[in-house]
């Protein structure tokens, strides 16, 4: 949120946003270099391919993760608590 606030008054590196013409909704893009780790995998999920039939009859194999256990990092929990 601080990056978005800063971007209103100054140019911020690795940040851009786009506004959809039809819906007027804004999407914010923040570079990975500014990201914080929020989850750590305790047990990695398995990836399986599921067939999905589209409206036109075509069949696509979509890879989806199944299972796995994740844990929030302490840094991310502190960040969430500071928002309140």
pLDDT tens readout for residues 55-81: 999 999 999 989 999 999 898 888 878
Task: Check the CA dihedral 10-13-15-18 and report its sign.
Answer: positive
* pLDDT beyond 90 at 51: yes
Percent of the chain with pLDDT over 90: 30
Predicted pLDDT at 57? 93
On average, the pLDDT of the chain sits at 85
Domain ranges within the chain, ordered by starting residue = 1-35, 36-84
* pLDDT beyond 70 at 13: yes
- Residues with Cβ within 8 Å of 72's Cβ and at least 6 positions away in sequence, in order, are 38, 39
Can you tell me the distance from the alpha carbon of 10 to that of 25, in angstroms, rounded to the nearest whole number?
22
- Please answer whether residues 29 and 18 qualify as being in contact, where contact means their C-beta atoms are separated by less than 8 angstroms: yes
């Amino acid at each position: 949120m601080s990056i978005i606030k800063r971007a209103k008054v100054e140019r911020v590196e690795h940040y851009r946003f786009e506004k959809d013409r039809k819906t007027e909704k804004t999407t914010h893009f923040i570079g990975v270099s500014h990201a914080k780790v929020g989850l750590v995998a305790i047990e990695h999920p398995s990836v399986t391919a599921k067939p999905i039939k589209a409206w036109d009859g075509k069949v696509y194999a979509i890879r989806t993760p199944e299972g796995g256990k994740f844990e929030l990092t302490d840094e991310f929990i502190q960040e969430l608590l500071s928002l309140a």
